[in-house]
Structure formats: C-alpha cells, structure tokens
A and B are shown apart, each in its own frame.
Chain A
C-alpha cells in the first residue's frame, strides 16, 4: 500500500512553515540519543524534491509508535467481531493495515493542525487523542460515545484536537479540508490541514475543483491519498485510468510514500511543510 501526499503551492513554503520543522522531539525528553533509520522504500516526487530516506527517531519513540499501532490493530479487529455479532449496526469501515499513516502523520504535526477524513475514521480519532471507550460506545450507539451515539462509525469527531470527522460521502471531505486550510490562512494561524481520502475518492470531481481553488488561493492544505487499492469493492485498476495518484495534482507537487512504513509517513509531512 502506498500513500501519496500532495502539497499545494510549493512556491511560498519556506518562511511560513519554518517552525513546523521542529518536530516535538522525543529525544530531548527521554534523554536517549537519536538514531537514524533508513526508510524501506525511497520516495518518489512529482514537482518536488523527495526528502531524505534517513529519519531521526529514538527507541522510545519507536516503541510508542508500535504500541499505538498495535492498539489500533486490536481495536479494529475487535470492532470487526462486534460487527459480525450485530452489536455494531450499519456500516463499519476498518483501518487495520493502515495504522502507520495515522501514527506517522500524528507524530509530525500538532493538535492545532487539522485533519479530516472519510468514513474509515476510527484510528484517526484515536491518534488525535480519542479514547477506546468513546470509540466503542459510539460504535454501539451509546450515550458515552464521542458523538453521543448519534453519529455512528462514520461520524467520529474531536474538534478540540483538530479532528473534523468522519464523513460518509466519498470525496466530500476534500473540499471541506481545503476549507479548513482556508480558515487557517484567514486567521493567520500558521497551521495546516490534512485532507485524507482513498484511491476511490481520488477520482471524484470535487477533489479537483477544491485542488484548483486551493492552488489559486495558496491554501495550506495537504491532500493525503491512502491507497489501499480498492474503492469500496472495486479494484483500483478497474476504477482509475491513472493509478499514479501523487501525480494527479498536475500543477501541484506530489509525493509517493510507502504507507506501511511509519517513518516515511513521519518524515513526509515534515518535508512538505519545509
């Protein structure tokens, strides 16, 4: 599985987002010396210089990644059992296998940056600080759920940590994410937005409409395509003429990233933000 990140308007990057280069570094807290890890697969760039394959991290940071990812994996598998027992009704879209994207992304940004995604949202919610109790309660329609049982699997939100949902309509979250970035630019906060979408949603027209406006207006948004090679039940090769989603931005730079490798996900937002 590969995730392609698309950054808008490379032109005026350097000054604005300089402070985000300073990733909250675990090493200064834990006192452990940083270790350099080489990513498994190199990056491929479209109208952008790919970042270095060497990523600095520490053992405790790596362990925390592993632990969070394992928790997410367990959570989704348990949700699957609940769904099959009909304790979760309606839809239940699982993120197991994609955990590295959520964790890697989270490690590179702050809670003031915004994330918006489609309906495969359980683990993004967790990564943004949501709890397991709130997640399961929501899935099972209980009042203590993160949306008080009124949303369900597809409508988890955590606004206080910059997580804007949880959207059921394929592709709709992309213009919404560009709107979040518009507001961040309008209020001069210096933060950015990440709009996550799948390879199925990559073919949506509204994505290109939002991309056009975002490039014209120079919005601080990164479109992250989580390519799991299936759009609902239809394989990628049957739905997309061009599977090079990272190039679909055309005039907008793009980066092809190995979504299975948390280090890559970690470093790529840093790169695009620099």
Chain B
C-alpha cells in the first residue's frame, strides 16, 4: 500500500510533493521538478558545507574517517578535509567527548559522532555537566558550540542495549537543544542550524531513515539553507485530531493519517523537529483547532516526550480538549530480539490509527469485537 500525500508548497510553487512513508517501496515516480536525496546524503552534504564554510568545524568519532562513517554519513570527508579535521577516535566515549567539549570551550566547533546514542551514556556527564551547564555556571563566559550527533532509537534486531531512544533524557536538561529530523529537508536544515548554533545541540538521527529518499526543493539544496530551531512542521493538515511525532514515527503517523482519512477522520500530523525547545505554540494551536491529541514516540512511555506534550496542552489548552490525550510509545520493556516481539515493542501504524479513533470516540469496544 503506497500512501501519497499531496500538498501545495507554501511559497507559490505549484508542484506535487510526495512524502514517502518510511519503509515503503517506490513503485512509480511522478514527474516533478523536485530532486530526491536520501537522509544520508542530506546529512553528508550538510556536514560538508558547514565544514567548508567554517574552518573551526571539525568531526570526531569512531570510524568517521577511514571507514567513511559507520553508516557512511561522513563519506568522503576525510579525503576532502584531511585527518586534522576528520578524526577517528578510539572506542572511548568519555575521553573523546570530554576532549570535544574542551575544544569547544576554547572556541572550536566540534561535531562529535556517537555510533549510536546508546553509547552516549558513557559520555553523558560531559554532555550534561561539562557542555550543557557551562554557559550558565560561568555566567556567559564559556560558550560551548558543540553538536553531538548519531543514530537514536531502535534499529532492526539489535537488542536491548542498542535500541533505546534518548530524546526524553536529553530534552530534560536546560542548556541543551535537542533536534530530531525526519525527512532529508529536516536533516539538512536542522544539522546546519545545529552546527551554526553557539550552544550544545543533541542531534538525534535514525538509522532506518538513512536510506530513505525524500524530495527536496532547490532552496533546500542551497548551501545557505537552514531551518529554525524550535519550530515544528505541519506535515499534513487536518481537522479532527492532532498527531505529534518525531523522527521515524512521522512516517508512521502520515501512513496512519492516510488510513484514517479513508474512514472520514482527518488527522493533522505535526513533525516536531525540535524536542527542546518544544514548539508548544504550534502544538497548542493545532489542538485548539482539532480538539483531540495523539502523541507518538518510539521511546519508553514513562516520563517521555508525549508526557511533556500532554502537560503543555493541559496547561495551555485544557478547555479545548474534547477527549483525553492519547499517548503511543514503545513498550515498557527492554527491546526484545525476536522479530515478532520487536514489532510489538515499537509503535506500528495500527496503534496510531487505533489511538486516533479512541480520541475521536470511534473505537470499537472490546466486547463487540470479541
């Protein structure tokens, strides 16, 4: 089943853009002026352009140089910028992250890659205590223009220690900015914004999205392109229920919206893009319009991103809610290995559809179904 979402582009160009749901097979291409690039190429080009524009930007991490990147995100960069600016580190996250933060104190602009954010836990003291808090503790004397990036969340079959989502962990901390792209446009624009930002930014990518292609306009491909931090994007407009998501779940939410539209429920899908700062204005404006909310995330439910969104809406738009907020999250268990269990531990399109229906009082009671 191939979902196709059509939208008019805001700045006057009339062309059909198709947002490809994650994991779908491209059967047919519309003839469109828009070019398509993978998220991987989007990240690579963003790194390349920012390193070219500012000699203080450098990349460090495991396998980023000679191996061309564990997921090939930094392909070609060592050859282009040399070993002084693309540094292969030993497998010592605490050490190299501290070195990266120290370099940022001095005025360089490091991009520290974690092979996955699960390994960032080895370095989390430096991310939080050395990077995030320093600007405040020094009353502005020390600024830390560093980016911590890498894949976040579940991959496929990598087990409990390699599958956790850290969005809620890092978004908890004042002094950090936390971004999570979905499409190639997001990847390019947000990574450029992160590298240019004077404060520490945690940039949560998704391994399963690296190979996904998305159409991008000429504006996005321009080297000056940048997205604002703290602004969400309404991927699909709707009237009946708001669905918030980030990263891979945006694709699932869009598929769910397509399924719902066939049943007469028009869902508005918000791609958060920025977890901290959260775009509370956009979320609340949408809920005030639709009166119903479903939050979707891949991570564990307790103290998750959805919990914060729910509270934000309760604080600002309580009277507008016609139904309790629905929260879709990963299962509250360490990620299992077996494929069928893994599928059950991560939200699927059906889960989002059911939640939206519950929010719209359209769900089928268990007794009737039985």
Contact = CB atoms under 8 A, between A and B. Distances in A.
Nearest to A114: B106
A210 B95 contact: yes
- The B interface is mostly helix, strand or loop, or mixed, namely helix
A150 interface: yes
B96 A169 contact: no
Contacts of B136: 150
A148 B139 contact: yes
B98 A168 contact: no
A224 to B, nearest CB: 15
B99 A213 contact: yes
Contacts of A135: none
Interface string B130-158: 10001011110110000000000000000
B304 interface: no
A147 B138 CA distance: 5
Interface in A162-198: 164-169, 172, 174-184, 186-187
Contact of B98 (A147, A178, A212): A178
A182 B90 contact: no
Contacts of A180: 102-103, 105-106
A217 interface: yes
Contacts of A147: 137-139, 141
Interface in B78-98: 84, 87, 89-90, 92, 94-98
Interface bin, chain A: 35 or more
A70 B133 CA distance: 33
A213 B99 CA distance: 9
A209 B95 contact: yes
A205 interface: yes
Nearest to B58: A186
Given A147-B138, A210-B95, A216-B90, A172 B130 contact: yes
A122 interface: no
B98 A151 contact: no
Given A159-B142, A169-B129, A175 B94 contact: yes
A113 to B, nearest CB: 12
Nearest to A143: B139
Contacts of A159: 138, 141-142
Interface string B93-124: 01111111111111110000000000000000
A57 interface: no
B126 interface: yes
Contacts of A273: none
Interface in A42-78: none
Interface in B156-195: none
Interface in B263-317: none
A112 B136 CA distance: 24
A178 B139 CA distance: 23
A206 B138 contact: no
A232 B136 CA distance: 26
A116 interface: yes
Interface in A94-151: 114, 116, 146-148, 150-151
A212 B90 CA distance: 9
Given A175-B95, A210-B95, A216-B90, A155 B130 contact: no
A176 B94 CA distance: 10
B125 interface: yes
A100 to B, nearest CB: 26
B107 to A, nearest CB: 7
B141 A167 contact: no
Contacts of B107: 183, 187
B94 A179 contact: no
A246 interface: no
Contact of A175 (B87, B102, B104): B102
A205 B94 contact: yes
Contacts of A205: 94
A209 B108 contact: no
A206 B139 contact: no
Given A157-B141, A165-B142, A169-B125, A186 B108 contact: yes
A172 B105 CA distance: 14
Nearest to A208: B95
A167 B130 contact: yes
- The listed residue with most A CB atoms (<10 A of its CB), out of B58, B84, B134, is B134
Contacts of A216: 90
Nearest to B91: A209
A77 to B, nearest CB: 26
A272 to B, nearest CB: 20
10 contacts: A150-B136, A150-B137, A167-B130, A169-B130, A175-B101, A176-B130, A179-B98, A179-B104, A182-B103, A210-B98
Interface of B: 58, 84, 87, 89-90, 92, 94-108, 125-126, 129-130, 134, 136-139, 141-142
Which 4 residue pairs of A and B lie closest in terms of their CB atoms, listed nearest first?
Answer: A179-B102, A175-B98, A209-B95, A183-B106
Given A178-B99, A179-B101, A213-B92, 19 more contacts: A114-B106, A116-B102, A146-B139, A147-B137, A150-B137, A165-B137, A167-B129, A172-B129, A172-B130, A175-B94, A175-B126, A181-B102, A183-B106, A206-B94, A206-B95, A209-B95, A210-B98, A212-B90, A214-B99
